[in-house]
Amino acid sequence: MEYAYRHKDDYSHILWVKAESKESLTSDFAQLASLLNLPLKQEQDQQEVVKAVQRWFSHHDHWLLLLDNADDLSLIQSFIQDLQSGHVLFTTRAQATGTISRVEVRKLPEHEGVVFLLRRAKLITTDTSYEAIPKELRTQALNIVKELDGLPLALDQAGAYIEETQCGPADPRTLPNPWCRAS
């Protein structure tokens, strides 16, 4: 997600697909057909729709396709073979990726996790340093970082939740959250 955000201006299209199973890949490719307004978007035969999306990829460039949870790399092969005019990025827990370039995502140290979470939640600005974060807010965010073990994707999702619900980062073990605004 960070790569897509940082490079959004490099691509004409950034498309996200769940890759946990053949069914989720097929379903999400069918949704791409609608999103891209392809003529076959209403086709009942999903394999034909998948082929139409693959043709779109082969006739366009400057796109990024994100495959999320692609733990079975053999499964995604038939969906991405011959896609050469754009970029494919996938998340996986697979350790053996063969000839595919791999970048290990590390857990964030606590200080970095706090800043990342609060920036994602839009509770601090991009130029706010760790030291400038109010102590209570820093402590609350640190509790979330520890609870989520510093995992960047989990922190991103927590930050998105905080932003969307307009809840502050109170201790995640404390419910209800006293920082949530009533709708």
Residue-wise pLDDT tens digits, 50-62: 899 999 998 998 8
Residue 172 located in a structural domain? no
Task: Give residue 93's pLDDT.
Answer: 63
Q: The tokens of 119 are what?
A: 């920036």
pLDDT in tens, 101-155: 555 667 889 999 999 999 999 999 989 999 999 999 999 999 999 998 898 878 8
Q: What pairs with residue 63 in β-bridges?
A: 13
Q: Would you give the end-to-end CA distance of the chain in angstroms?
A: 29
Q: What pairs with residue 13 in β-bridges?
A: 63
Task: Give residue 182's pLDDT.
Answer: 41
Do residues 79 and 140 share a domain?
no
Mean pLDDT score of the chain: 81
Residue 20 located in a structural domain? yes
Domain count, the chain: 2
Q: Is this structure's pTM higher than 0.75?
A: no
Task: Give residue 114's pLDDT.
Answer: 94
Do residues 7 and 84 share a domain?
yes
Do residues 69 and 11 share a domain?
yes
Residue 29 located in a structural domain? yes
pLDDT in tens, 14-35: 999 898 888 998 999 899 999 9
Question: What is the number of residues in the chain?
Answer: 183
**CA of residue 8 relative to chain centroid, distance:** 13
Average pLDDT on 161-166 reads 85
Element (H, E) at 13: strand 13-18
Q: What is the domain extent for residue 155?
A: 110-165
Do residues 150 and 118 share a domain?
yes
Do residues 129 and 157 share a domain?
yes
Greater pLDDT, 73 or 116 = 116
Task: Give residue 100's pLDDT.
Answer: 56
Element (H, E) at 66: strand 63-68
Do residues 146 and 117 share a domain?
yes
